[in-house]
Amino acid sequence: MNSKSKTGFIQILRSFGRKFSDLQGLLIAILVLGTVLSILSDNFLTGNNIVNILYQATIVAVVALGQTFVILVGGIDLSVGSLIALSSVLSVGLTVNNGLPPWLGITITLILGIIFGLAHGLAVTKLRMPSLIVTLASLSLASGLAYVYSEGQNIIPVPEVFETIGNAQFFGGQIPVFIPFALVLIIISYITLTKTRFGRQIYAVGGNQMASRLAGIPSNRVIVIAFVISGLSAAVGGLMMTARLQSGSPIIGSGMELTVIAAVVIGGTSLFGGQGNVIGTVLGVLLLTMASNAIVLLSIPPNYDKVFTGLVIAIAAALDIYRQGKNTTNMSRLKRSSSGKEVAKNSNPKTEQNNSNVS
């Protein structure tokens, strides 16, 4: 009994170790950037600034979690930035302009996120449209709707709930409520992807859709659900953004799809699908948030901030490729031949010693 739980524990450690080994490049990038920043700026390593970074990271993280599901099934969701804007103006406007109670306005906003996701999923699975095109259309559509509805104006003042949520703090006013909220969502996503049958189905469909379908996995349904999760998480992101800025705005979130996708991809999730995890996504979000924090701390002129962010993404991606290259040429080969030897010792000396390395 004891030894059994022990091996179970070791297995968990091992599987964690494996996942982290995939993220080495990213961790190094984060550490390097952190070290540089703490040398260049006295303000970086203050409790205040760290909470600030985490706080900023939460919204991107929530949207990026949804995006991770979509990219894992081999799709992409470009509509999230515009959905954030649409959710923002709707959630406020439905109360301020249309007189609905706030809870109803918020519920309708969330449902709209789900509907967008559902539409994306169905277009991709039933109409066989590429998700890039479908969600590009939504990017334009949702943004347009946000402008039409708000007539291009910020909608203020926001209903009281947004103020309450935006100002809610934990631990004696130290930690904004968004941080534990995002943490909970991260944990739920992590467990969903690694422990549940649905998580397996996501990876299987992303890895080889045909094989999954033939094995009896409802691959279309899995894809639709992934898009729904992304649509919903964008709507939630829009609500969070509204609470933070205390205004319903049609311009917030514009361009954020690129940050979100960059975070997911530098977090090690393959754009081909079937490979990646949320821990990587969270680290990717952290890195990008630190980069934008650096722009403020180092007072980099605003005109250069995109150049800086671009460089950070490029370096993180290069580190990752470098690390992966090393891994596939050495690690997997070593692993392969050692397993070959094991086989040879066990029972049949003639099974594979062949080391045909695919990829």
Partner 1 sequence: MSLLKANNIHKRFQGVVALEGVNFELKSGEVHALLGANGAGKSTLIKIVSGYHAADEGEILVNEVKIPFNDPKASHKAGIATIHQEHNLIPHMSVVDNVMLGQWIGRYGVVSEEECRKKALNAINRVVPGLDLDLYGHQLTPAEGQLVEIARALSEEAKILIMDEPTTSLSPREIERLFNVMRDLKSQGIGIIFVSHWLEEIFEICDCVTVFRDGRYVGSEDIKNLDENTIIRMMVNTDVPELSPQKRNPGKEILKVRNLCKDGVLQNISFDLHEGEILTIGGLVGAGRTELARCIFGVDDYDSGEVLIDNIPIPKNSPRAAVKVGIGFVPEDRKGQGLARNLTVRENFTLSLLDKVTHLGFISKTSELDISNEQSAALKVKAPSMEANIMTLSGGNAQKVVIGRWLARKPRVLILDEPTKGVDVGAKAEIHRLIGEFAESGMAVLLITSEMPEVLLLSDRVLVMREGRISGKLNRSEVSPESVISFATAEEVVY
Q: Are 25 and 320 in contact (CB under 8 A)?
A: yes
Residues 6+ apart with CB under 8 A from 17: none
Residue 197 touching partner 1 (CB under 8 A): yes
4 or 299: CB nearest partner 1: 4
Dist. CA 113–CA 106, nearest whole Å:
11
Interface region with partner 1, contact rule CB under 8 A, candidates 99-107, 234-242, 278-286, 350-358:
350-358
333 touches partner 1 (CB under 8 A): yes
CB atoms within 10 A of CB 358: 5
Residue 204 binds partner 1, judged by CB under 8 A: yes
- 271 touches partner 1 by CB under 8 A: no
CA–CA separation, 188 vs 150, rounded Å? 34
Question: Can you tell me the distance from the alpha carbon of 18 to that of 5, in angstroms, rounded to the nearest whole number?
Answer: 20
Is residue 353 a contact residue for partner 1 (CB under 8 A)? yes
| 200, 245, 254, 298: residue in contact with partner 1 (rule CB under 8 A) | 200
DSSP one-letter string for 83-131 = HHHHHHHHHHHHHHTT---HHHHHHHHHHHHHHHHHHHHHHHHTS---H
Interaction of residue 251 with partner 1, rule CB under 8 A:
no
Q: How far is the CB of 333 from partner 1 (least distance, A)?
A: 8
Question: Is there binding between residue 19 and partner 1 (CB under 8 A)?
Answer: no
Near partner 1 in 303-332, by CB under 8 A? 332
Nearest approach in angstroms of CB 285 to partner 1 is 22
List Cβ neighbours of 147 (8 Å cut-off, separation of 6 or more): 250
Binding-site size for partner 1 (CB under 8 A) equals 50
The footprint of partner 1 (CB under 8 A) covers 8, 11, 195-201, 203-204, 207-208, 210-218, 270, 274-275, 332-333, 335-337, 339-344, 346-359
